[in-house]
Amino acid sequence: MKYYSTNNPNHKVSLKEAVLKGLAPDNGLYMPEAIPVLPQAFFDTLHTKSFQEIALEVAHAFLKDDVPTAELKRIIEHTISFDAPLVEFAKNVFALELFHGPTLAFKDFGARFMSQLLGYFAKEEKREIVILVATSGDTGSAVANGFLGVPGTKVVVLYPSGKVSDIQEKQFTTLGQNITALEVDGSFDDCQRLVKEAFLDEELKTKFFLTSANSINIARLIPQSFYYFYAWSRLKEKNKVVFSVPSGNFGNLTAGLIAKRMGLPIRHFIASTNINDIVPEYLQTNKFNPRPSKVTVSNAMDVGNPSNFARMLDLYQNDFEKLKADVSGFDFSDEETQTAMRDVFTNNKYVLDPHGAVGYLGLKKYLEVNINSTGVFLETAHPAKFLEVVEEAVNISIDLPDRLKIFIKNKKQTILLDKSFTSFKAMLQKSLTN
């Protein structure tokens, strides 16, 4: 299967090139040239299969020509080494818990799959592969931990200074080995811009084998479709399922749209955001107006220019009405988010993290009008990752899982940087050549 750039459908590359390049040379995002549609028999028997078996069949449909089945099986077994349980806490309202991986956030799925796939491709490369990743929190930890110790790779994480939680920061600044953390005096959008500029810089491209691990990488997107199939397979009522996806860069939601295109009968999607409401606004007005991000309590979704929006448009051939028929958008303030966390804890004895709370709110709003639906919202992180916000909202103390305690004990090591590309480039050359 070939992959084309959203900026030019005639520019097609192999899977390997799409994964190693991350971003197309024309700044577009890679998309599979055809989205495989799975046969009815697959859906009829889905409930009898394990999460790993489901994931392998979905991955195989995309990658069968590019990765040997035995290798794909190994990659899947490594990626899906933890469950994604559905928790019903009101009639027809389910949380899909995606935080049971090593860094307690859904980004573990994409990062683990991608690091394994890159490791497979890296064997053929002579140069070291450098993974540049801009993070607003969770991507950095998932990617850094996914690649930690993978031979032939180096990871450089850029993050906005003071704008990620202490626990998040510890998960990618304490690792050492092949992981370097750059603390940028700027916003997440600045970090994302620096990464994009590096990919366009001829000198850097000649010197290093650069690749990206942000949600723009197609190897992050494909595995994020697995859990839509799995969750659907475990629901009793399968013909009226809607998913609410707490969104920032819209990778998670795009993966859901891809699952639907593969034949999974999802009735509707809800794009739930914090006040960075660029996509909900688009769905109301047909105007896409990216702007600087604002800081919120759900900081992994503080994105002012959602990168996967280009893929969403591409999937619907820029047809606004068609996209709108499949996706509704709602945005929520911090106050609404905190109230939801408090109410859900009081009424359902369930502790939401601030991102899941936004997903929950979007679902609730949708269900007010569309009563006859089975609603699933994605719970994208463990509440302990956002301790201060959660404890303030629900007024109880949260126990840290052991996996988090280990990170907190270790010492932070970062390189401070202003937000100019010149400084970033100089730093990159210095830290990668020694």
Distance of closest approach, residue 80 Cβ to ligand PLP, in angstroms: 18
How far is the C-alpha of 97 from the C-alpha of 46, rounded, in Å?
Answer: 19
* Nearer CB in complex with ligand PLP: 28/246: 246
> How far, in Å, are 173, 198, 367, 426 from residue 194 at the CA level?
19, 6, 40, 12
Task: With residue 251 as reference, give the H or E element that holds it.
Answer: helix 251-261
* Nearer CB in complex with ligand PLP: 186/246: 246
Instruction: Count CB atoms within 10 A of the CB of residue 235.
Output: 17
The answer to whether 160 and 264 have CB atoms below 8 angstroms apart is no
* Nearer CB in complex with ligand PLP: 154/355: 355
Instruction: Count CB atoms within 10 A of the CB of residue 126.
Output: 7
Q: Of the candidates 222, 233, 235, which has an alpha carbon nearest to the alpha carbon of residue 58?
A: 222
The answer to whether 246 and 331 have CB atoms below 8 angstroms apart is no
How far is the C-alpha of 274 from the C-alpha of 299, rounded, in Å?
Answer: 9
* Nearer CB in complex with ligand PLP: 66/138: 138
How far is the C-alpha of 230 from the C-alpha of 276, rounded, in Å?
Answer: 30
The answer to whether 302 and 293 have CB atoms below 8 angstroms apart is yes
How far is the C-alpha of 240 from the C-alpha of 207, rounded, in Å?
Answer: 52
Residue 107 falls in the annotated catalytic set: yes
Distance of closest approach, residue 47 Cβ to ligand PLP, in angstroms: 27
Q: Of the candidates 162, 123, 164, which has an alpha carbon nearest to the alpha carbon of residue 144?
A: 164
Distance of closest approach, residue 420 Cβ to ligand PLP, in angstroms: 26
Task: Give the residue nearest to ligand PLP (CB).
Answer: 138
Specify the length of the chain in residues.
434
DSSP code for 399 = P
* Nearer CB in complex with ligand PLP: 66/223: 223
* Nearer CB in complex with ligand PLP: 309/316: 309
Sign of CA dihedral 53, 54, 60, 63: negative
Distance of closest approach, residue 264 Cβ to ligand PLP, in angstroms: 18
DSSP code for 381 = B
Distance of closest approach, residue 236 Cβ to ligand PLP, in angstroms: 27
Which of 16, 73, 107, 419 is labelled catalytic? 107
How far is the C-alpha of 202 from the C-alpha of 404, rounded, in Å?
Answer: 39
411: its two tokens:
């010492």
Distance of closest approach, residue 203 Cβ to ligand PLP, in angstroms: 30
Adjacent-strand bridge partners of 244: 270, 377
Distance of closest approach, residue 248 Cβ to ligand PLP, in angstroms: 4
Q: HSE, CB side, 13 Å, CA atoms: give it for residue 278.
A: 22
* Nearer CB in complex with ligand PLP: 105/310: 105
* Nearer CB in complex with ligand PLP: 215/225: 215
Q: Of the candidates 202, 214, 206, 194, which has an alpha carbon nearest to the alpha carbon of residue 142?
A: 214
Q: Which residues bind ligand PLP (CB under 6 A)?
A: 105, 107, 138, 215, 246-252, 300-301, 355, 380-381
Distance of closest approach, residue 213 Cβ to ligand PLP, in angstroms: 13
Annotated catalytic residues are 107
